[in-house]
Amino acid sequence: MTNYKFGQTVLVEFPHTDFLKTSKRPAVVIYDSGDQDVLVARVTTQKYTTEVDYHIPDWKGCGLLAESYIRLSKLATIEKQYVIKQIGVLKISEIAVLKSILRKIFCD
């Protein structure tokens, strides 16, 4: 079984909030406890500017096809079987910003 690290970009079957459908889309790994599931955040090309959305400056460098945003308010736990492939990894500086935003969401 593959283990993923915080900040890896992956292509997944991401569930819709109604749980009726999924969409193939990029996501960023937030947490992998080593079991059959992984926690991911949705990545989108739609521009969002809330305090919990993150614009990826080096979107090409982490394997994305277009300018993208990480929606840290849109997390999902998915079975690893729905991870289609790894496409890249965020820079260390970008990972630090994501961790800071997540602290703000969950610790403030």
Per-residue pLDDT band for 90 (boundaries 50, 70, 90) equals very high
Per-residue pLDDT band for 20 (boundaries 50, 70, 90) equals confident
What percent of the chain has pLDDT above 70? 100
Residue 108 pLDDT more than 90? no
Q: What is the mean pLDDT of residues 51-77?
A: 93
Query: Mean pLDDT score of the chain, rounded to an integer?
Result: 92
The pTM (predicted TM-score) of the whole model is 0.91
- In the CATH scheme, what architecture does the domain 8-98 have? Roll (2.30)
* DSSP conformation letters of 70-87: EEEEEEEEEEGGGEEEEE
Q: What is the dihedral of CA 54, 58, 61, 64, to 10 degrees?
A: 50
Tens of pLDDT along 38-55? 999 999 999 987 899 999
| Every domain of the chain and the residues it spans | 8-98
Greater confidence (80 vs 17) lies with 80
Distance CA 42, CA 25 (A): 8
Which residue, 35, 29, 20, 4, is CA-closest to 102?
Answer: 29
Report pLDDT for 29. Answer: 98
What's the half-sphere exposure (Cβ side, CA atoms, 13 Å) at 104? Answer: 12
Report pLDDT for 52. Answer: 92
